[in-house]
Amino acid sequence: QRSTPRSSFGVPIRDSNHQTAPMSDYDVIERSAVIDAEPSRILPLLTDLRAWQQWSPWEGLDPELQRTYTGPETGPGARYVWSGNRKAGAGTMQITDASDRSVDIDLAFTRPFKSQSKVRFDLTPSDAGTTVVWSMRTPRTLMTRVFGVFMNLERVIGRDLEKGLAQLQEAAQAA
């Protein structure tokens, strides 16, 4: 019997045919890349939400994006609120946990639709640098099911995660 692949959250992920475990209440989108840098050079780019402007795949969607940062500058409690045009939407990110090998973030969109996700970065040193796994766990709601009819969210968000990991590599090497 074939085992179901699981994300770093332990939740079943979609296979190549975009199938998940039948009773899954969550969609998990996950991408990884080997970044030619030590975890100590990558971690500050993840735990300082201001640093996301250097590498986030969503930067540039709205040149007039309004940003507010509250809480500590880095690590748990650091919070980022944004509001922008139709492409950027509005929402919040808050770091809930950070260690030398992982970062957990609560992500909430308030516009163009309401959505809550758990984001996680896992960093594992290797001979080639650091393997970074970026996971996004989103509850299955009526809205995500409707969007799923019209677009493959795993593919769309997955491309964004891939772009972000490539830009994170550039930012880490420049640090």
How far is it, in rounded angstroms, from Cα 142 to Cα 144? 6
pLDDT band with cut points at 50, 70 and 90 for residue 143: low
C-beta contacts of 10-19 below 8 A and 24+ residues apart: 11/137, 14/154, 18/152, 18/154
Pairing of strands 79-83, 90-98: antiparallel
Quick check: helix, strand or coil at residue 141?
coil
Quick check: helix, strand or coil at residue 100?
coil
Reading the block at residue 138, the tokens are 């989103």
Question: Which residue has better confidence, 25 or 96?
Answer: 96
Give me the amino acid identity at 150.
F
Q: Where are the extended beta strands (E) located within the chain?
A: 26-35, 66-70, 79-83, 90-98, 102-111, 115-126, 129-139
Question: Which residue has better confidence, 112 or 16?
Answer: 112
Residue-level pLDDT at 113 = 75
Residue-level pLDDT at 28 = 87
Instruction: Please give the mean pLDDT across all residues of the chain.
Output: 84
The whole-number average pLDDT for the span 3-23 is 47
The whole-number average pLDDT for the span 66-86 is 95
How far is it, in rounded angstroms, from Cα 82 to Cα 156? 21
Helices (H), 64-152: 142-150
- What is the percent of the chain where pLDDT is above 90? 61
Q: Which of 119, 69, 127 is nearest to 98 (CA)?
A: 119
Q: Which pTM was predicted?
A: 0.80
pLDDT surpasses 50 at 15: no
pLDDT in tens, 162-171: 999 999 999 9
pLDDT band with cut points at 50, 70 and 90 for residue 2: very low
How far is it, in rounded angstroms, from Cα 140 to Cα 4? 18
Residue-level pLDDT at 12 = 47
Residue-level pLDDT at 153 = 67
pLDDT band with cut points at 50, 70 and 90 for residue 17: very low
